[in-house]
Structure 1
Amino acid sequence: MEIKQAPISFTIEKNYDSEFCGSIPLHLVNLIQPHGVLLTLDKADLRMVQVSENVEQLLGIPAEEILDQPISSYLPQPQFEELKAKIQGQNTQVKIPFSVTFLVNGQEATFTALVHPKEDYVLIELEDNQDTSQKDSFLGLYQQIKYFTSLVKQASSTKEIAQITVQEIKKLTGFDRVLAYQFDPQWNGIVIGQAKEEDMDDYMDLRFPASDVPKQSRDLYFSNPYRLIPTRSYTPVKLRPLINPLTQRFTDLSDCNLRSVATVHLEYLANLQIMASMSLPLIIEDKLWGLISCHHKTPMNPSYELRSALELLSGIVSGQLAAKEREQTIHLRAQLRGIHAQLLEQLYTTPNFTEGLLTGPTNLLHLLNLSGAAVLFEGGVLTSGETPTGQDIKELVYWLRRNKTEKIFTTDTLPQLYMRARDYKEVASGLIALPINAEQGEYILGFRPEVLQTVSWGGNPNQAIQMETDGKTYHPRNSFDIYQETVKQTSLPWLEEELEAAEALKSAVLEKIIKERY
């Protein structure tokens, strides 16, 4: 049985996840983007104890005048009561924007607000969202979302879901380029869906190193439903006072959409030749599966209605991707169960269990998608398919015993772990070892051959970060030209469903051995 693998599954030998980039505290910058205002309130009395310095531009009140004032002085009583209710009852994982009207010198100013209750304080983000030219009617958005949902439900694969998603989001938003980006196990990403203007660079099927979205940035996607940069040419706005008077520390901006962006990321956007960007996480089973990344050649600030619609769509896409992966898992498990049942029948109808595993119309090679297998039992070695020599197998078992592999062991990069395997990488770059009696050197071994895979990167991943001589300042790569490398000494990866089948087989073999002996 041949199980096809997506290119995303291949193990890349080098780790491109930058510990340096991933350790930068992006949430403690004390800076915001200027398209909104941030207010920090004392949770006890809702006084404004810290504000962004652009508060006068949006509210018409100087920062020194508004500091230490209760927010109730500027809101109609019903809205103040609504705000209190949201602070007291809001689940911090759910961010629902609402409208507030500030009363300043007899003038009314309406804003879209987001509330983030913390342990010691409350953060309120305000954005002037009165640009009616961008506003979408509820009915219009609802119809587009329904149409989008019906399309992705009909998709036959994850890649088709991704392509439908980027095409529809491009239509909905007007962004110049929309990419769907899936992470591999090492956090490198591959573009699996793309919709773009003709004059923009083509990134379809290209990989980008993990350092492009370092750990700190990935973690923040669990706090933010989206990341918006309306223009990379903005001047960051400071908070006043600099230190939060309630905590005597920098204010934690993890949850804030307005949080300012690291300078290196703005430089990265400039190298991509885009001015505005918006990204949305694709989260499956509490793990960041990928991103939807939107690019625009000129400044762009989507309305709150549109952003909310995109947040909803990313959730729908995540759900459909999860459903598709579950469907594929169920199908594969059913296949493997059928093969396992036939193999069990052979185990119990042949005199020797080794022959039952390796001979007959259904055998171990079919169950675990192997090119070769070996059973070492009671001093004998029985092989099937393409395997290393008998001596190589015995030395490999010695290495396994020395490393105390008493549980099932798998690797798709054996030559990188075990030097001697480089001599027979063509037949055994991948290994699965099922110990029967590890102390006696009794194992069931499965082999997979080397699969040479050409990986196309968006720029040279070895130059993803360019440090200056001070060892602190760094820059992103300035070229995204296709850079190709060949992945060697690597087999197809082992699927979780195959490991489950291997565990079940091991149990069945041990049970048969015990019955024969006792």
Structure 2
Amino acid sequence: MQKTNFDSGFCGNLPIHHINTIQPHGAVILVDKHDLTVVQVSVNIVEYFLLEVQEIIGRKLDDLTGLSIEDFLQGFGDGKKKRISLKIEPAHHTMSAWIMEHTHYYFIEIQPESDTYDSKFSGVQEVRELVDTLDTTNELQEACDLIVVELKRMLGIDGVMMYKFDADWNGTVISEVKTNGLEPYLGVTFPASDVPKQARELYLRNPIRLIPNRKYEPARLYPVINPLTNAFTDLSTCFLRGVSDVHLEYLRNMGVVGSMSLRVLHNGKLWGLISCNHSSPYELSFEDCTNLALLTNVISTKISSIINSREYQFVSNLQRDRNTIIDNVYKLGLEKGLFDGPQNILNLFDASGTVLFSEGKQFHRGSVPNRDFLDNIFLWLQAKNINQVYSTHHLVGDLEEAEEVHEITSGMLVIPISNRGAEYIVCFRPEFIKTIEWGGNPHETVNFEEGGLVYHPRNSFKIWMETVHQTAKPWHEQELQIANSIRSFLLEHDS
């Protein structure tokens, strides 16, 4: 059965950054950059300023908050800072304020401070301790396990999961620690639509997403349309940004009340998420969130360091073996240089079989399909005008005839090697049968009511097993770069 791609076709198109509501554990004020008058607020602002919303709109920022305009503007310094933090004291309340500079306005998020507030996270000291802990390992799985254990301890939260994305943005839980009856999901894969593409893009802008209580009553923005942009206000960088109904329902179906996600980046790209869940409301201050944002940088740096070190060794070995093969081609000629010796094209690309089409002949090593199929492959490459490196880990998807021999040809790498005619190196990889444990039926990630206007997330996360056939281990990006370098060498050698 073909899975419906809700990630790109539906969920990925929902404008969650224009939800126009916030969570009510804080409030929002927008002020015009030109004259610092208030142009838009969240309606729950009345709880903190003891004024009606209509009385607040149009007021000067200093008049409303008691904040010195000079201090406010100096906070942004020479213009390089785009976000600053300050304290304000409206109506005798001390509040933390996060201020983000936008093109036409300043976006201010405020949160009350409380003497009775019991922070669950002790900040920079906790970050230092985690750095020291992570310095004890250079193994990816061990580092992930340490991270989830230490985060659970630091935060006093019921469950922590490390969630790694694959090439299709499905996420697999690679480490977890849970208590208080939360369902275990270690090894379970969740479809890409659970964290759709626009949500993933927001994690590149915001390192943390906190939902203290999924049962909250949203506070809408007033007026509805931002008068400076004549559109909904973009809440992409807002800590308090409201949550879509479908995600709140998703959390309810998982038995979660408080939720927080921390991004994990690898070389500037989203690699995974750390999902923290609580069976009751879970509160953090702006300062806690700031320290946790710092912690995500520490975690991402460690993860990237381990992966880059492993990649460096992998690439070094590839380059060494490629250089040996190139030397052998110089010394022994094309066929023997590619196939003979301990360092050969089979080992270089971790292939089970390989064929050289050259000067109207076929030379092969390892496990390859029958002659008729190889003849068809040769004709197919010519018909498709394959003149660049081509790769697939699902050959049946491109060539139906490959189904008959998919056990040994599920993966194929093609390197064109001549400017004078149809000559190729073709490497095959065998079928790698993979069983995926999905968190619920991946074909039913979104359920529509009759009429197709109202929809709901799946209500069951019971393991749904899928066995994937006719695919091979994917070709690594660095292997494709090595293939291109071999192609360049052989084209030059051929001329």
TM-score range, shorter chain: over 0.9
Distance between the aligned counterparts of 1:335 and 1:187, measured in 2? 29
Residue from 496, 499, 518 that aligns with 2:477? 496
Residue from 27, 37, 48 that aligns with 1:37? 27
Tell me, what secondary structure is at the counterpart of 1:259? coil
Residue 158 of structure 1, CA deviation: 2.3
Residue from 87, 92, 98 that aligns with 1:114? 98
| Residue range with higher mean Cα deviation, 141-150 or 211-220 | 141-150
Q: Kindly tell me: are residues 157 and 14 of structure 1, through their superposed partners in 2, closer, same or farther at Cα, counting changes over 3 Å?
A: farther
Are residue 99 (structure 1) and residue 87 (structure 2) matched?
A: yes
Residue from 423, 435, 440 that aligns with 1:442? 423
Residue from 240, 243, 246 that aligns with 1:264? 246
Which residue in the other structure is 1:5 paired with? Answer: none
Which residue in the other structure is 1:359 paired with? Answer: 340
Distance between the aligned counterparts of 1:13 and 1:511, measured in 2? 45
Which residue in the other structure is 2:114 paired with? Answer: 130
Residue 155 of structure 1, CA deviation: 2.3
TM-score by length of 1: 0.91
Distance between the aligned counterparts of 1:155 and 1:134, measured in 2? 32
Distance between the aligned counterparts of 1:327 and 1:154, measured in 2? 15
Q: How big is the alpha-carbon RMSD for the aligned residues of Structure 1 and Structure 2?
A: 1.9
Distance between the aligned counterparts of 2:292 and 2:394, measured in 1? 40
Counterpart contact for 1:173–1:306, Cα < 8 Å: no
Q: Kindly tell me: are residues 174 and 145 of structure 1, through their superposed partners in 2, closer, same or farther at Cα, counting changes over 3 Å?
A: same
Q: Which runs of 5+ in 2 are unaligned?
A: none
Distance between the aligned counterparts of 1:298 and 1:135, measured in 2? 16
Which residue in the other structure is 2:328 paired with? Answer: 346
Distance between the aligned counterparts of 2:83 and 2:263, measured in 1? 15
Counterpart of 2:35, as a letter, is D
Output one character per residue of 1:481-500: Cα deviation in whole Å (capped at 9) or x when no partner.
11110111110011122112
Residue 90 of structure 1, CA deviation: 5.2
Counterpart contact for 1:381–1:390, Cα < 8 Å: no
Counterpart of 1:447, as a letter, is F
Are residue 27 (structure 1) and residue 11 (structure 2) matched?
A: no
Residue 338 of structure 1, CA deviation: 2.3
- Among the aligned pairs, what percent are the same residue? 36
Q: Kindly tell me: are residues 274 and 29 of structure 1, through their superposed partners in 2, closer, same or farther at Cα, counting changes over 3 Å?
A: same
Distance between the aligned counterparts of 2:249 and 2:128, measured in 1? 37
Distance between the aligned counterparts of 1:131 and 1:410, measured in 2? 61
TM-score by length of 2: 0.95
Matches within 5 A, 1:119-198: 119-135=103-119, 140-197=122-179
Matches within 5 A, 1:29-68: 29-68=19-58
Distance between the aligned counterparts of 1:166 and 1:91, measured in 2? 34
Tell me, what secondary structure is at the counterpart of 2:242? coil
Which residue in the other structure is 2:62 paired with? Answer: 72
Counterpart of 2:425, as a letter, is I
Tell me, what secondary structure is at the counterpart of 2:357? strand
- Report the number of matched residues: 494
Distance between the aligned counterparts of 1:499 and 1:248, measured in 2? 48
Q: Kindly tell me: are residues 486 and 366 of structure 1, through their superposed partners in 2, closer, same or farther at Cα, counting changes over 3 Å?
A: same
Residue 504 of structure 1, CA deviation: 2.2
Output one character per residue of 1:4-45: Cα deviation in whole Å (capped at 9) or x when no partner.
xxxxxxxx9874524211111111121111111111111111
Which residue in the other structure is 1:273 paired with? Answer: 255
Counterpart of 1:99, as a letter, is K
Which residue in the other structure is 2:232 paired with? Answer: 250
Which residue in the other structure is 1:466 paired with? Answer: 447
Residue 153 of structure 1, CA deviation: 2.7
Q: Which runs of 5+ in 1 are unaligned?
A: 1-11
